[in-house]
């Protein structure tokens, strides 16, 4: 289950379907990613074809990312069996 969000735009999108605060072109993929993340019990449950799951390195160790489009990613941590601090960002 998703416990918390860092990005208010994807939080509103997840709960209400409100696309304000996200790139509308990402809506379909974001919906699939967030639905899967909400059902996941560990980061490895997000290791699906095309998601390009990877763990960040260095100070960000323990933070996981999945690919949306171009440089855009959804990043998150797991606290127990729950996703937390879910964020939506452009890497570069």
Angle at CA 60, nearest 5°, toward 77 and 70?
Answer: 80
The reported pLDDT for the residue numbered 92 is 72
Tokens of 47: 């290791």
**Positions of the chain with pLDDT lower than 70, given as ranges:** none
pLDDT of the residue at 20: 95
Looking at residue 43, what is its pLDDT? 97
pLDDT, position 77: 97
Domains of the chain: 8-90 (3.30.2310.20)
Angle between helices 27-39 and 8-16 (to 10 degrees): 80
- Give residue 91's pLDDT: 83
Distance CA 73, CA 76 (A): 10
């Amino acid at each position: 289950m998703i416990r918390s969000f860092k990005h208010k735009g994807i939080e509103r999108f997840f709960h209400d379907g409100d696309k304000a605060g996200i790139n509308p072109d990402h809506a379909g993929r974001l919906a699939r990613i967030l639905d899967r993340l909400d059902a996941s019990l560990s980061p490895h449950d997000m290791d699906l074809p095309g998601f390009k799951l990877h763990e960040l390195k260095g100070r960000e160790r323990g933070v996981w990312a999945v690919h949306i489009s171009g440089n855009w990613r959804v990043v998150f941590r797991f606290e127990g069996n729950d996703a937390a601090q879910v964020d939506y960002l452009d890497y570069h």
